[in-house]
């Protein structure tokens, strides 16, 4: 029997007022979610996702875990469409789980399944070395993959927070998955970007090397992230493999190299090819785990595990890359357009104001104040308060201004009953 032991720590950090991260520690499933959205929507998104994941994971298999993430996506998406205040909310989700998968002889074998959507990460700390298992779904990661920027540039890029995939945004979601054979001494770290945006990998590794208790290690990682700035919420789950049934004494396994991505929809559509994995055109068999009967070389390299992959750069490849870039470019523009190119009339504190963007923001585009109106919150006629509260869509600035004019007209028409009382009160209390 493979057995694991987990520790967790979370903190809102030093810059944020609320913690929109959430975690799930429910052996055999360990997950974190990093919510996004205005007001408290991010907090709701991450919690809804993890509650749904916990409820949905029925059987301990990789497919079961992926199904759980698909259910979590639907739960967040549905909730976001039901409540106006939660519109546009989303969350990342990264999870590891101890599962059973049929081995070469058909007998069930223990595996660590890793699944990911978004820019949270799972790392494997093995033989004293830290290796990132997951692949970020971010704009900068795409740029790194296209060799347009280096990983070092990506780490400090101003747009590094733009996520290209998250739960709750669409009805369907693509889930990346990996399977890793666990050995005693392996430590899996699942964390939000509040950790790795602040703390270098070498420092994360040194904490994992130094503190053997998973709870202590998680707490120390959070402390270090705060020490280095704490600009975001930080959540760390450390999962230690404490028993592997002496598997390491019998055989060994190389680390899975690349994710097998399945596009899974709520309607249980059959798996489709991975549209994001355009740099590996050949269909990959599902044997991402290479089992060998001999002990592994002391240093397992992911590149070497896969072997050389000859590839010629032809005009066909060039054309294909251009096409992919064009698609990515228009997708980014569409996201930007949706997030920014709209207006709404809402409250700026006690005043009615015109904003550009979506109420509560969309992904990482926060709404910006365009103009104040001089109309006080309590002046808004009762018939219109709901529409202002919800931040109803106004396609253009003209539409938004028309709506403001409409509010003003209704105030004027309504007459001065409430206003007079207020004025009187002010008059009597002022000297």
Tell me if 193 contacts Mn ion by CB under 5 A.
yes
- What does the alpha-carbon distance between residue 68 and residue 65 come to, in Å, rounded to a whole number? 5
The single residue among 19, 29, 34, 68 that binds Mn ion, judged by CB under 5 A, is 34
Closer residue to Mn ion in complex, CB, 7/194: 194
Tell me if 232 contacts Mn ion by CB under 5 A.
yes
- What does the alpha-carbon distance between residue 229 and residue 180 come to, in Å, rounded to a whole number? 33
The interface region with Mn ion, picked from 38-46, 227-235, 322-330, 366-374 by CB under 5 A, is 227-235
Closer residue to Mn ion in complex, CB, 13/359: 13
The interface region with Mn ion, picked from 93-101, 189-197, 289-297, 308-316 by CB under 5 A, is 189-197
Closer residue to Mn ion in complex, CB, 194/360: 194
Report the interhelical angle of 214-227 vs 201-210 (nearest 10°): 150
The interface region with Mn ion, picked from 23-31, 68-76, 192-200, 308-316 by CB under 5 A, is 192-200
Task: Kindly identify the residues of this chain, within the stretch 100-119, that bind Mn ion according to CB under 5 A.
Answer: none
Quote the radius of gyration of the chain (alpha carbons, Å).
25
Residue 208, SS3?
helix
For β-strands 121-126 and 368-376, DSSP reports them as unpaired
Count of residues of this chain found to bind Mn ion when the rule CB under 5 A is applied: 5
Closer residue to Mn ion in complex, CB, 191/335: 191
Ramachandran angles phi, psi of 166, nearest 5°: -155, 165
The interface region with Mn ion, picked from 2-10, 224-232, 298-306, 402-410 by CB under 5 A, is 224-232
Closest separation between CB of residue 233 and Mn ion, Å? 6
The interface region with Mn ion, picked from 109-117, 167-175, 231-239, 406-414 by CB under 5 A, is 231-239
CB atoms within 10 A of CB 257: 16
Task: Kindly identify the residues of this chain, within the stretch 243-272, that bind Mn ion according to CB under 5 A.
Answer: none
C-beta separation of 75 from 33 below 8 A: no
Tell me if 43 contacts Mn ion by CB under 5 A.
no
Closest separation between CB of residue 42 and Mn ion, Å? 9
- What does the alpha-carbon distance between residue 62 and residue 114 come to, in Å, rounded to a whole number? 8
Closest separation between CB of residue 193 and Mn ion, Å? 4
Task: Kindly identify the residues of this chain, within the stretch 363-402, that bind Mn ion according to CB under 5 A.
Answer: none
| Contacts of 329 by beta carbon, 8 Å cutoff, 6+ apart | none
Buried/exposed 193-214: b ≥16 CB within 10 Å, e otherwise: bbbbbbbeeebbbebbeebeeb
CB atoms within 10 A of CB 140: 23
Token digits for 245?
A: 């049934």
Closest separation between CB of residue 423 and Mn ion, Å? 47
Closer residue to Mn ion in complex, CB, 136/186: 136
Q: Where are the beta strands (DSSP E) in 245-362?
A: 252-253, 262-264, 291-292, 343-348, 351-356
- Residues at the contact surface with Mn ion, assessed by CB under 5 A: 34, 192-194, 232
């Amino acid at each position: 029997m493979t057995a694991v032991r987990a520790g967790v720590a979370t903190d809102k950090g030093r810059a944020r007022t609320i913690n929109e991260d959430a975690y799930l520690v429910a052996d055999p499933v360990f997950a974190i979610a990093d919510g996004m959205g205005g007001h408290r929507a991010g907090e709701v998104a991450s919690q809804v996702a993890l509650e749904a994941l916990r409820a949905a994971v029925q059987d301990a298999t990789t497919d079961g875990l992926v199904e759980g993430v698909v259910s979590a996506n639907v739960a967040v998406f549905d909730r976001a469409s039901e409540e106006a205040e939660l519109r546009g909310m989303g969350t990342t989700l990264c999870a590891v789980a101890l599962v059973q998968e049929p081995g070469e002889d058909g007998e069930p074998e223990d595996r660590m399944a890793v699944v990911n959507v978004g820019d949270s990460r799972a790392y494997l700390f093995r033989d004293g070395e830290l290796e990132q298992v997951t692949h970020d779904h971010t704009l900068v990661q795409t740029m790194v993959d296209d060799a347009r920027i280096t990983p070092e540039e990506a780490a400090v890029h101003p747009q590094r927070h733009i996520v290209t995939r998250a739960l709750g945004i669409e009805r369907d979601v693509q889930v990346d998955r990996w399977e890793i054979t666990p050995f005693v001494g392996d430590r899996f770290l699942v964390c939000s970007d509040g950790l790795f945006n602040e703390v270098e990998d070498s420092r994360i590794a040194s904490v994992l090397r130094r503190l053997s208790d998973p709870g202590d290690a998680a707490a120390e990682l959070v402390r270090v992230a705060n020490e280095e700035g704490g600009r975001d919420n930080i959540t760390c789950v450390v999962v230690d493999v404490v028993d592997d049934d002496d598997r390491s004494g019998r055989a060994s396994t190389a680390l899975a190299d690349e994710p097998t991505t399945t596009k899974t929809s709520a309607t249980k559509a059959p798996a489709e090819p991975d549209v994001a994995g355009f740099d590996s055109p050949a269909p990959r068999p599902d044997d991402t785990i290479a089992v060998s009967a001999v002990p592994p070389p002391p240093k397992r390299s992911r590149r070497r595990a896969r072997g050389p992959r000859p590839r010629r750069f032809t005009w066909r490849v060039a054309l294909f890359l251009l096409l992919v870039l064009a698609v990515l470019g228009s997708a980014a523009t569409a996201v930007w357009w949706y997030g920014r190119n709209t207006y709404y009339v809402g409250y700026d504190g006690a005043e009615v104001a015109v904003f550009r963007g979506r109420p509560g923001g969309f992904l990482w585009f926060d709404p910006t104040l365009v103009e104040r109106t001089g109309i006080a919150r309590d002046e808004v006629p009762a018939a219109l308060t709901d529409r202002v509260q919800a931040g109803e869509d106004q396609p253009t600035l003209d539409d938004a201004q028309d709506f403001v004019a409409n509010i003003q007209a209704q105030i004027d028409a309504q007459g001065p009953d409430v206003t007079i009382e207020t004025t009187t009160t002010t008059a009597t209390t002022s000297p």
